[in-house]
Structure 1
Amino acid sequence: MSTQAELTGVAGWAVDVMERLGGPGAGLIIAAENLFPPLPSEVILPLAGFTASQGTFTVPGAIAWTTAGSVVGALLLYTLGAVFGRTRFRAVWSRLPLVDLDDLDRTEAWFGRHGAKAIFFGRMIPIFRSLISIPAGIERMPLPLFVALTTAGSLIWNTLFVVAGYQLGESWHVVEDYAGIFQRVVIVVVVLGAAWFVVSRLRRLRRDRSA
């Protein structure tokens, strides 16, 4: 590959793995990305498209293998949640500061109503893409439903980034730039939401103590 020498860090490593192992290498990296979020799919997927443009494998092959990797990684996290279990999770939750079991009950009720949508759309949201599999396992969402929703959501997300990387070729990093903006927006929203929760909960605790 003419630009391989210019790629360093995660990008250089990912391209090397995909060139050595082909499509299965892309799937392996995406499976690892589910378990280790510092490996960002917003970089790996466009690189899979870029590698496909160099003839290492085909675009359909890249999409199929990366989607398979997404499902495998999600299943590992689902299993982790299922093994940890609802009872242990509630015991840990009860020891956390600023929250109580009523909060967890409301969260579980919300997941019961909207869990399918959360799994499907969560596969297209940075940060949540990996984490959403754990509560699905804790709540024991039916496995066929979980696999179907994960496959559908991952297929859309992976296709978008792989095709973009293929079309852009050596300019694949443009996709990463735009995806980075989206990721930063998600992080800001999460931080603001967490800050609002902490402040409102501290105020409530002060009111309760005053009463």
Structure 2
Amino acid sequence: MTFLWRISETNADGLIGTYSRSNGLDRFELRRGKRIEVNEAMPTVRFDGRTRDLLAFDCLSNTAAPLVSQRMAQALRDSCAQDVQLVPARIEAADGVLDGWSLLNATATVRAINHRKSVYTMVPGTQAIMSFRHLEYLEGCLGEHQLARDAEYLGHLLVSDSLAQALSDFAGASFERPEEAYYETMSRRWNSANDAR
């Protein structure tokens, strides 16, 4: 079974970081599913939250890629070293600086979408997917990988069943079945539309 890596909604309230490009690393490089060259300047992610609030989590949301604690980084190395590149990053919080965190870069992409069972909208005039209404992945789409980007929709970080289990106790990340994630989105829209009538 394949899961989507999501940032838990419990850390979304005021704790979403902003990636600073001052080190020259474009944040979109972290979403290509390839190993990247890292220069000496450490990427910085700025948060409005306080350090003690950030330290309650092992995975933090920001505008680049998942930001993981040392503890979670070690679990990723132990479970799927061949699929990850951990880019050391610095956190600037409202009341101080935190070191020892890493931006998670998945180093592989897979063609994973079950096009017969998924419902999506294309970017007008292109063959690129803009959004999903329902999403299902092909059985075994990750192959030998435990973690990879969806080659057709790079914003999605895919996780194997065994890796999702290994990371389930880390605060801040959640792993959802794609059909449930997008079904709930559709249901919320449907219920909101009906409630407005």
Give the TM-score normalised by structure 1: 0.26
- Structure number with bigger Rg: 1
Q: Greater strand percent: which structure?
A: 2
Q: Greater helix percent: which structure?
A: 1
Give the TM-score normalised by structure 2: 0.27
